[in-house]
A and B are shown apart, each in its own frame.
With several copies, the nearest count.
Chain A
């Protein structure tokens, strides 16, 4: 556990788990809670899995208080991950949406990164991506993005309004969505979202969807 600006980095031993494709997620036990929480893989150092957490409710707050040595049940990798066969990648993250990008950046050889945060304190998390361009509210990532979008293949993760704005600018972007998830592996139908008029389970058909 270490603080990264307003966020917390949780590192667990990898055990037998594969880190998977960047953009995939894991279901992480939240101590004292019934259901696990979906968490994007943030870092994959040798023998470990790293998750970046924002304490927004009972589950994430419990995870932010995990003590070293505690055992957590973690399963994954789950979902589809980002397509990495893009020519001119640009990573666009909003707030805790930065979470998957350190691992993505490693796989893509440090592509350009654009990050937006709601405060300077949150923006400290940009240390995880040293080359990133960072904006803080009231500036939004869409402002610098408007100038870069022409020449890039966008991979974005962040709150829904940000993803909608990115989609408007970059119709071919790969967007990482969120939905409340009970299981993360297609068992509960809790995460169904309408995609092109059809209901799909975001946990197995996503969380990355092509904008279009």
Chain B
């Protein structure tokens, strides 16, 4: 199953890309509309990119009133990513979405590096969100934690149904000439191929720590990459940065993944979930 990573596709601007996905994840929505950060907001690095969009979004009211009805017409399941600065924000957002049948799942963005306010602890936010909705809740974590598996255990205990791994890491690019930060916000979120080994480690360790369903992402570019995320423990993968260079990536990655799977005698993506752990498990037993 292939999703887009939140913030990396606007289904209304590119409906044909959204339709090539198994589900569409919205850009993170906050209680109030947000303008986002001042430009420059994106910068390429040698092996990835930085962004400092800063959660530009129309707010939950406009999302529900204006965008959701149009998103539904795409015929693709809709996941809504929600974000905020306090547990009460997340509670409010989940309450607003709980009764919308057109919303399949909610992703809690616990980890946006472009929003400076310190979030309350991940578990508290999940508890607050859980109280407001019975929809599947995916906690999206950053690898910028001393031990991401510990955070994963905490959000599981707090009532999350799954994990989205990983969000971006904080990074910096300096302008070639001035040596000043290229981004308007100085630092920004680092994504793309450079992140892959970090993301894979997070998926691998959180899968072992929790056994929860995981949406794996971070630098996925090919079917081989997708296979590795499944093997490490993801049940679903999401494409982010790759969509900018290749809007046809969902179909391509899906096809490449099927080729990789059948070369290994596996019938479907689910059969690959967690296979990196098999030998380890055997050793332990």
* A-to-B contact residues, CB < 8 Å: 27, 29, 33-36, 57-59, 73, 75, 179-183, 185-193, 199, 201, 204
Contact = CB atoms under 8 A, between A and B. Distances in A.
Contacts of A191: 41
A180 B47 contact: no
A189 B243 contact: no
A192 B43 contact: no
B39 interface: yes
B36 A192 contact: yes
21 contacts: A27-B245, A34-B45, A34-B192, A36-B245, A58-B44, A73-B245, A180-B39, A180-B42, A183-B247, A185-B13, A186-B14, A187-B17, A188-B7, A188-B42, A188-B53, A189-B27, A189-B41, A189-B53, A190-B53, A192-B36, A199-B36
B132 interface: no
Contact of B36 (A29, A33, A182, A189): A189
Most buried by A among B39, B43, B48, B192: B39
Nearest to A75: B247
Given A36-B245, A188-B244, A180 B43 contact: yes
B224 to A, nearest CB: 12
Nearest to A59: B44
Contacts of A204: 13
B39 A57 contact: no
A175 B228 CA distance: 36
Contacts of B17: 185, 187
Contacts of A182: 42, 49, 51, 244
Interface string B194-228: 00000000000000000000000000000000000
Task: List the 10 closest A-B pairs by CB distance, nearest first.
Answer: A186-B13, A190-B42, A183-B244, A182-B244, A182-B42, A189-B53, A186-B10, A190-B41, A187-B9, A35-B44
B14 A190 contact: no
Given A180-B42, A187-B247, A192-B36, 14 more contacts: A27-B245, A33-B44, A34-B192, A34-B241, A182-B49, A185-B13, A185-B17, A186-B13, A187-B8, A187-B14, A187-B243, A189-B10, A189-B36, A192-B53
A193 B35 CA distance: 10
A98 to B, nearest CB: 24
Contact of A193 (B39, B43, B49): B39
B193 interface: yes
B40 interface: yes
B244 A57 contact: no
B124 interface: no
B205 to A, nearest CB: 22
A27 B47 CA distance: 19
Contacts of A188: 7-8, 42, 51, 53, 244
Contacts of B193: 34
B34 to A, nearest CB: 10
A190 B51 contact: yes
A199 B43 CA distance: 19
Contacts of B7: 188-189
A101 B283 CA distance: 39
A182 to B, nearest CB: 4
Q: Chain A at the B interface: mostly helix, strand, loop or mixed?
A: loop
Interface in B229-278: 241, 243-247
Contacts of A27: 245
Contacts of B176: 57
A190 B245 CA distance: 14
Most buried by B among A33, A58, A59, A186: A186
A75 B192 CA distance: 20
A181 B44 CA distance: 10
A192 B40 CA distance: 9
Nearest to A181: B42
Contact of B41 (A33, A57, A180): A180
Most buried by A among B13, B42, B45, B47: B42
Nearest to A32: B46
Most buried by A among B9, B10, B35: B10
B98 interface: no
Nearest to B193: A34
B56 interface: yes
Nearest to B8: A187
Contacts of A190: 41-42, 51, 53
Contacts of B246: 73
B47 A179 contact: no
A187 B10 contact: yes
